[in-house]
């Protein structure tokens, strides 16, 4: 996996193959946002009503109302179910992941739209699958293996209502040890005629009836894995018991940019002081304990801002009054090194002045920034206004107000 990440990002992250002792990678991919409707304190309670919608971005549908995708329809229906759970004394979650076009990207998605419009495939789901693979090389490359991580971060062990027609998402959540009482899909009455074929296509594909989008994280379904090219021998690196021995390339150029005395970090440690902060600072590269950089794809914008002298990289940030509006965790899932791997569960707590998590970093002059921000949010969507008018929802003055305003807590990761 490390070698493929190195090779297929054009060698952007040489530490993937030069530093086998660094086991945390901050990839340049988009994050996700969790919208929480109702009493956040009830989320880890297995007996409190909990609705979950794992939703993947569909920008043209959600912002501009395109019916080429059912994204906005699913999103609004998920919000309706969240409001009902909150009004019943529980909570509803929309986990909004930025995996546009099944993580193939928007350009690939629109090319598929063009191809479908010109073909004679109609609503045949198998033909739609073949058309997608012909144009993009794959139908779906979303990281289903990681989709349960935000749910584990919230301490969830049981979902009462899972809003999805995706068997892949259902299987991934259950594989993480989370019980699902029932799944509900988008009612046919809410589908315009132009979106029915797309809805059928997604549902059939997710069942694994033909091309199964869920594959092992390592290896391939197309025969035995190809062995990586041999790496140069190097000194033995620290590793977990039972892990294979590592070999790595010796990199001599720009050595000062790489970690020589990484700050300690023990992923899955129960005590914050023992866990330590994830450090990918470029101001103190000798203390880095992670590959990549913070800010995901926005690191490129920051680099250009520094080059244009808009940003002074030496100026310390003032994070006063930015603390989370509600406290989340810690939960037992935070202490399982194999349970949560796609986000830092302590990411909202690291910047507090008295944080034991970042004490070692502060002692060496390293400024630690949060990777999770938790704030309040009010949403108003015309479809929710319509649901109020038609009686599918009713205003309660707190969770859902007259005028269709939904009160939420949002966490950006």
Q: Given a cut of 70, is residue 236 above it in pLDDT?
A: no
The beta strands (E) that lie in 306-404 are given as 373-380, 400-401
C-alpha–C-alpha distance, residues 294 and 51, integer Å: 31
Q: Which of 295 and 165 is assigned the larger pLDDT?
A: 165
214-218, 330-334, 369-373: least confident range: 214-218
The pLDDT assigned to 330 comes to 93
Burial class (CB in 10 A: 0-12, 13-18, 19+), 329: middle
CA 238 to chain centre: 29
Side-chain-side CA neighbours of residue 388 (13 Å): 19
Q: Which of 286 and 179 is assigned the larger pLDDT?
A: 179
Q: For strand 91-97 and strand 400-401, is the pairing parallel, antiparallel, or unpaired?
A: unpaired
The pLDDT assigned to 243 comes to 45
Rg of the chain on CA atoms, in Å? 23
Side-chain-side CA neighbours of residue 3 (13 Å): 13
C-alpha–C-alpha distance, residues 136 and 109, integer Å: 8
C-alpha–C-alpha distance, residues 379 and 92, integer Å: 14
Q: Region 225-231: what's the mean pLDDT?
A: 41
C-alpha–C-alpha distance, residues 370 and 31, integer Å: 14
- Is residue 354 part of the annotated active site? The answer reads no
Average pLDDT of the chain to the nearest whole number: 82
C-alpha–C-alpha distance, residues 50 and 181, integer Å: 10
Nearest to 53 by CA among 200, 199, 173: 173
Burial class (CB in 10 A: 0-12, 13-18, 19+), 47: exposed
The pLDDT assigned to 212 comes to 41
Q: Given a cut of 80, is residue 239 above it in pLDDT?
A: no
Nearest to 184 by CA among 198, 207, 166: 166
CB 371 within 8 A of CB 277: no
- Is residue 140 part of the annotated active site? The answer reads yes
The pLDDT assigned to 225 comes to 41
The pLDDT assigned to 154 comes to 97
Give the phi and the psi of residue 382 in degrees, each rounded to 5.
Answer: -60, -30
* Helix (H/G/I), strand (E/B), else coil: 342: coil
The pLDDT assigned to 235 comes to 40
C-alpha–C-alpha distance, residues 292 and 279, integer Å: 10
Q: For strand 50-56 and strand 91-97, is the pairing parallel, antiparallel, or unpaired?
A: parallel
Q: Given a cut of 50, is residue 394 above it in pLDDT?
A: yes
C-alpha–C-alpha distance, residues 132 and 128, integer Å: 6
* Helix (H/G/I), strand (E/B), else coil: 119: coil
The beta strands (E) that lie in 256-334 are given as 291-292
Residue 213 — pLDDT band, cuts 50, 70, 90?
very low
The pLDDT assigned to 80 comes to 96
Residue 241 — pLDDT band, cuts 50, 70, 90?
very low
Nearest to 139 by CA among 83, 201, 95: 201
Residue 257 — pLDDT band, cuts 50, 70, 90?
low
* Helix (H/G/I), strand (E/B), else coil: 53: strand
Q: Which of 191 and 232 is assigned the larger pLDDT?
A: 191
Residue 203 — pLDDT band, cuts 50, 70, 90?
low
Residue 183 — pLDDT band, cuts 50, 70, 90?
very high
DSSP 375: E
| Annotated catalytic residue within 140, 149, 205, 288 | 140
The pLDDT assigned to 195 comes to 60
Stated pTM of the model: 0.83
Residue 123 — pLDDT band, cuts 50, 70, 90?
low
Task: Express each pLDDT in 398-409 by its tens digit.
Answer: 999 989 999 999
Q: Given a cut of 70, is residue 209 above it in pLDDT?
A: no
Residue 229 — pLDDT band, cuts 50, 70, 90?
very low
Task: Express each pLDDT in 88-104 by its tens digit.
Answer: 999 999 999 988 888 88
C-alpha–C-alpha distance, residues 382 and 69, integer Å: 18
The pLDDT assigned to 228 comes to 41
Strand partners, 97: 32, 56
Q: For strand 25-26 and strand 291-292, is the pairing parallel, antiparallel, or unpaired?
A: parallel
Task: Express each pLDDT in 277-301 by its tens digit.
Answer: 999 888 888 898 999 888 778 888 8
The pLDDT assigned to 395 comes to 96
Q: Which of 256 and 232 is assigned the larger pLDDT?
A: 256
| Annotated catalytic residue within 2, 84, 142, 288 | 142
Burial class (CB in 10 A: 0-12, 13-18, 19+), 349: buried
Residue 206 — pLDDT band, cuts 50, 70, 90?
low
Task: Give the percent of the chain with pLDDT over 90.
Answer: 40
- List Cβ<8 Å contacts ≥24 apart for 252-257: 256/285, 256/286, 257/282, 257/285
Peptide linkage before 330 cis (omega within 30 of 0)? yes
What's the CA dihedral at 202, 205, 206, 208 to 10 degrees? 170
Q: Which of 364 and 67 is assigned the larger pLDDT?
A: 364
The pLDDT assigned to 317 comes to 81
């Amino acid at each position: 996996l490390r070698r493929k990440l190195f090779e297929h990002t054009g060698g952007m992250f040489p530490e993937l193959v030069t530093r086998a002792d660094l086991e945390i990678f901050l990839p340049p991919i988009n994050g996700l946002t969790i919208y929480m409707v109702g009493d956040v304190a009830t989320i880890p309670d297995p007996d409190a009503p909990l609705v979950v919608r794992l939703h993947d971005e569909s920008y043209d549908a959600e912002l501009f109302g395109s019916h080429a995708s059912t994204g906005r329809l699913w999103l609004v229906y998920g919000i309706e179910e969240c409001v009902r759970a909150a009004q019943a004394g529980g909570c509803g979650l929309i986990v909004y992941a930025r995996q546009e076009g099944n993580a193939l990207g928007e350009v690939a998605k629109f090319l598929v739209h063009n191809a479908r419009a010109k073909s004679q495939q109609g609503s045949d789901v198998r033909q739609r699958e073949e058309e997608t693979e012909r144009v993009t090389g794959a139908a779906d490359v979303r990281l289903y293996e990681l989709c349960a991580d935000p749910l584990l971060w919230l301490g969830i062990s049981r979902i009462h209502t899972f809003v999805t027609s995706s068997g892949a998402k259902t299987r991934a959540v259950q594989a993480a040890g989370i019980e699902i009482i029932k799944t509900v899909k988008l009612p046919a009455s809410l589908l315009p005629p132009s979106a029915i074929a797309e809805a059928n296509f997604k549902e059939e594909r997710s069942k694994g009836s033909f091309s199964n989008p869920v594959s092992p994280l390592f290896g391939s379904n197309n025969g035995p894995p190809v062995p990586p090219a041999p790496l140069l021998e190097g000194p033995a690196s620290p590793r977990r018991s039972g892990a294979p021995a590592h070999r790595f390339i010796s990199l001599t150029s720009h050595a000062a940019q790489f970690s020589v005395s990484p700050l300690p970090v023990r992923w899955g440690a129960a005590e914050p002081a023992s866990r330590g902060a994830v450090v990918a600072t470029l101001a103190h590269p000798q203390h880095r304990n992670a590959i990549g950089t913070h800010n995901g794809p926005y690191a490129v914008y920051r680099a250009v801002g520094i080059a244009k002298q808009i940003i002074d990289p030496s100026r310390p940030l003032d994070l006063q009054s930015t603390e989370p509006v509600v406290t989340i965790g810690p939960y037992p899932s935070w202490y399982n090194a194999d349970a949560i791997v796609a986000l830092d569960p302590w990411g909202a707590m690291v910047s507090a002045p008295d944080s034991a998590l970042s004490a070692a970093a502060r002692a060496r002059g390293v400024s630690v920034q949060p990777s999770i921000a938790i704030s309040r949010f009010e949403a108003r969507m015309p479809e929710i206004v319509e649901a109020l008018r038609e009686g599918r929802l009713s205003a309660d003055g707190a969770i859902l107000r007259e005028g269709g305003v939904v009160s939420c807590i949002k966490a950006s990761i």
